[in-house]
Amino acid sequence: MTSPLLADLNPRQHEAVTLPHTSALVLAGAGSGETRVLTTRIAWLIATGQASPLSILAVTFTNKAAREMLLRLSALTPVSVRGMWIGTFHGLCNRMLRAHHRDANLPQLFQIMDTADQLALIKRLYKAHGLDAERYPPRELAWFIASAKEAGLRPQAVEAGDPFARARVEHYALYEAMCQREGVVDFAELLLRSYELLAGRDAIREHYRRRFSNLLVDEFQDTNLLQYRWLQLLAGPDAAVFAVGDDDQSIYAFRGANAANMQHFERDFGRPERPARLVKLEQNYRSHGNILDAANALIRHNRSRLGKELWTSEGKGEPIRAFAAPTDLDEAAFVVDAVKGIADEGVPLSEIALLYRSNAQSRVLEHALFNAGLPYRVWGGMRFFERAEVKHALGYLRLVASPEDDGAFLRVVNFPPRGIGARTLEQLQDAARGRGTSLWQAASSGAVGGKAGASLGAFVTLIEKLRAETASLPLSEAVAQVNEGSGLVAHYRSEKDGEDRIENLEELVNAAQGFVREAEIAGDAPMLGDRVSPDAPVPDEGPSEGATDPLTAFLAHAALEAGETQEAEGRPALQLMTVHSAKGLEFHTVFVTGLEEGLFPHENSLNEMDGPEEERRLMYVALTRARRRLYLTHAQSRMLHGQTRWHVASRFLDELPRDLVAWLSPARTRTGAVEVDEAEWGRAARAPAKDADAPGWRIGQNVRHAKFGVGVIVGAEGRGSDARVQVNFRDVGVKWLALEYAKLEAA
DNA sequence: TCATCCTTCGTTTTT
DNA sequence: CGAAGGATGA
């Protein structure tokens, strides 16, 4: 049987797509068509009648990936995607919890907190209980709670030996109680609650196991322990789990991702009668040979790998270009020049990416681009649903939907200002605490008297009015009504630069409209909850399941999908982003900048478990973003935290085969240091080394030591036989050396 | 209640 | 160096 679905698949892709009903791990290299294989697998299962759309659950990490999958799938199959569960882990868990909110012990209209909401809640918690925010920074507690939840641990299960740990566990318990009282959940809670629901309710677990005989997972190397266990619970004995991932692209260990999940896949998802299969996709359709050869050579330096080698049927292409700049400013100037040249060749600016390890590095690049008049777009930063005015509008909507939500109450009770100050709120919070109620209840029952009480009463009346007015309106009109009725629009109109904010409020109305439209097209958008039937242990499944409450669904959507950082502008622009956010993207030309020891690999990672290997994977991701042309640059000195720092070239440059790399800057020594003459040394050399008057040596110079290896002189003191220099060695860090004894040589 | 000063701190980030 | 958040004063 030759289905048009399978045309153009290479043998390995074909094998993966047409595997029999058994669990399989697809080890998919960068640019090997992983998304295509995943979606084609689904389409093939349906086209051949092996699976009903209802039996499909496909899970991704980002909304973008989920949308992409949905889009491709609707192009591949005539069957409607409605009925399939396709979405992010969080989106699917949300959906499940809405359907079983009683069993999950959640209010029907529970609200989802984003990171900022969560932090605000912790701060309120600290205030309410008089906890020490100095000793237990709120951010740290948030991190602690998320880690515990990702390990599947409730407070009583967390081991706490010392008093400090015990205190944090106590705070965790208080946090939980507060969330429960207010009817809010954080991101990790969505997963943990859903996990516990499946673990604790046999009927529900069996229901979903019967239904989902085909589980498909994208970016499997990014799953954390809880997500892995969630999948295990969901996968019944007859289920086939199709997991696609690349251990070499695991770059999110710092937030709990556990690439070792790939190593356990066979053991945990294989069945005696149907052992798990392994398919490797190694043919790359993105990059030219030299780029792949470099990436392969680099990643071979990692020890813990499943093992994989990318190849292409295309030619070798151009050599990789490398450049050593004296300073970060020179590096930026070089990039600007090169970009101009590439643009002159006809490459669109939007096909050129500038990558860096940390966000702070974008500043210098932006500055140079701005001065050169080159349009650019920086990824990362403030996202749409995180903007203050949007959060305020969402706060009103949340309060309308769920009055117990103290976080929402506090956000909007005095915005726009209506004379409800800190003192009043303190009284109100005391009253609410005393009665064990929400702020909303305390306010509406007149717990605070006098003028302040009257202001609160007016606020309560306002919210009730909004609730009544919006109850029967379509979602987008309800949002518009809240924008106006809350006084937000009027407030921003009177503000000097409030136009942008009003525009964003209008954009929120559009977002609501778009959300509803999408939900209608999909028949049942992933974010819209299933019909809730509290009496039946398991709600009906099927195309008829629909949205019960568009407002709550929209609020969940706003929390789960923060939206674009910056709308793409009309004219094409250079793309600036961290290597992390470049994952999954590709460009004609890629610049990887700041390739310096301490920056990339980042100094903080060197002491971490698996840190250096994760940094190398990050570099691997960076290299494999390029289709045709790849530039690698580093600067010998760079402004960091307000002072000039000297760095040796990154070890990753040394790990690339020499014959693949063409150095555009002066000759490079075997060790990776760069020899430049005084004229080219530029700014760095002109800055006089104040106390580095030891003859023959100067700050910034590359040196080699018989035992410590290569490094850069970063400081000096004394003279004559006392002269000492401070050297930052690539491998062993900063050391002071007496020039009289140390056998230093120029490198 | 807001504005301004001052301290602190500095990887990566999606949901 | 520069952003962000807390504290302080008008």
Q: pLDDT (tens digit, 9 = 90+) per residue, A262-286? A: 999 999 999 888 999 999 999 999 9
For the ranges A193-207, A239-253, A664-678, the lowest mean pLDDT is seen at: A664-678
The bridge status of strand A643-646 relative to strand A626-640 is antiparallel
Q: Among residues of chain A, what percentage have pLDDT more than 90? A: 59
Nucleotide nearest to A381 (CA to C1'): B13
Measure, in angstroms, how far nucleotide B13 C1' is from residue A572 CA. 26
Nucleotide nearest to A186 (CA to C1'): B15
In whole angstroms, give the CA distance from residue A482 to residue A509: 10
What residue ranges in A103-190 does DSSP mark as E strands? 111-112, 184-185
Residues close to nucleic acid strand B (C-beta < 7 A): A 61-64, 88-91, 114-115, 187-188, 251-252, 254-255, 357-360, 380, 414, 417, 419-422, 560-562, 577-578, 580-581, 602, 604-605, 608, 611, 641-642
Could you count the other beta carbons within 10 Å of the beta carbon of residue A113? 22
* Secondary-structure breakdown of chain A: helix, strand, coil percentages, each rounded to the nearest 5: 50, 15, 35
Q: Which residue has the higher pLDDT, A1 or A474?
A: A474
Is the pLDDT at A318 greater than 80, yes or no?
yes
Measure, in angstroms, how far nucleotide B11 C1' is from residue A646 CA. 18
Could you count the other beta carbons within 10 Å of the beta carbon of residue A211? 17
Measure, in angstroms, how far nucleotide C3 C1' is from residue A509 CA. 31
Q: Which of residues 350-389 of A touch strand C (CB under 7 A)?
A: 363
Is the pLDDT at A534 greater than 90, yes or no?
no
Nucleotide nearest to A90 (CA to C1'): B15
Task: Report residue A297 as tokens.
Answer: 């050579």
**Could you tell me the pLDDT band of residue A533, with boundaries at 50, 70 and 90?**
very low
Is the pLDDT at A543 greater than 70, yes or no?
no
The answer to whether A639 CB is within 7 Å of strand C is yes
pTM: 0.85
The answer to whether A173 CB is within 7 Å of strand C is no
In whole angstroms, give the CA distance from residue A480 to residue A507: 10
Q: What is the mean pLDDT of residues A89-111?
A: 94
Q: What is the mean pLDDT of residues A571-578?
A: 91
Task: Report residue A510 as tokens.
Answer: 């559009």
In whole angstroms, give the CA distance from residue A60 to residue A39: 12
Task: Report residue A662 as tokens.
Answer: 């063409």
**Could you tell me the pLDDT band of residue A20, with boundaries at 50, 70 and 90?**
very high
Helix/strand/coil for A501: helix
In whole angstroms, give the CA distance from residue A309 to residue A326: 35
Measure, in angstroms, how far nucleotide B5 C1' is from residue A419 CA. 26
Amino acid at A136: Y
First to last CA, chain A: 64
Measure, in angstroms, how far nucleotide C2 C1' is from residue A362 CA. 13
Measure, in angstroms, how far nucleotide B10 C1' is from residue A392 CA. 29
Nucleic acid strand C: bases within 7 A of protein CB = 1-2, 6
Nucleic acid strand B: bases within 7 A of protein CB = 1-2, 10-15
In whole angstroms, give the CA distance from residue A353 to residue A345: 16
Measure, in angstroms, how far nucleotide B6 C1' is from residue A503 CA. 34
The answer to whether A641 CB is within 7 Å of strand C is yes
Which residue in A623, A597, A14, A729 sits closest to A286, CA to CA? A623
The answer to whether A123 CB is within 7 Å of strand C is yes
In whole angstroms, give the CA distance from residue A373 to residue A436: 60
Q: What is the mean pLDDT of residues A293-301?
A: 95
Measure, in angstroms, how far nucleotide B9 C1' is from residue A641 CA. 9
Q: Are A32 and A281 in contact (CB under 8 A)?
A: yes
Q: Which of residues 677-706 of A touch strand C (CB under 7 A)?
A: none
Q: Print the SS3 string covering A461-495.
A: HHHHHHHHHHCCCCHHHHHHHHHHHCCHHHHHHCC
Query: What is the pLDDT at residue A694?
Result: 43
Q: Are A713 and A673 in contact (CB under 8 A)?
A: no
In whole angstroms, give the CA distance from residue A241 to residue A238: 10
Q: Mean pLDDT of all residues in chain A? A: 86
Which residue in A216, A241, A217, A202 sits closest to A24, CA to CA? A241
**Could you tell me the pLDDT band of residue A141, with boundaries at 50, 70 and 90?**
very high
**Could you tell me the pLDDT band of residue A45, with boundaries at 50, 70 and 90?**
very high
Measure, in angstroms, how far nucleotide B7 C1' is from residue A134 CA. 14
Measure, in angstroms, how far nucleotide C4 C1' is from residue A743 CA. 47
Q: What is the mean pLDDT of residues A429-441?
A: 89
Nucleotide nearest to A422 (CA to C1'): B1
Is the pLDDT at A538 greater than 60, yes or no?
no
In whole angstroms, give the CA distance from residue A130 to residue A429: 13
Q: What digits encode the pLDDT tens for the residues A714-740?
A: 666 655 566 667 777 777 766 777 777
Measure, in angstroms, how far nucleotide C3 C1' is from residue A365 CA. 18
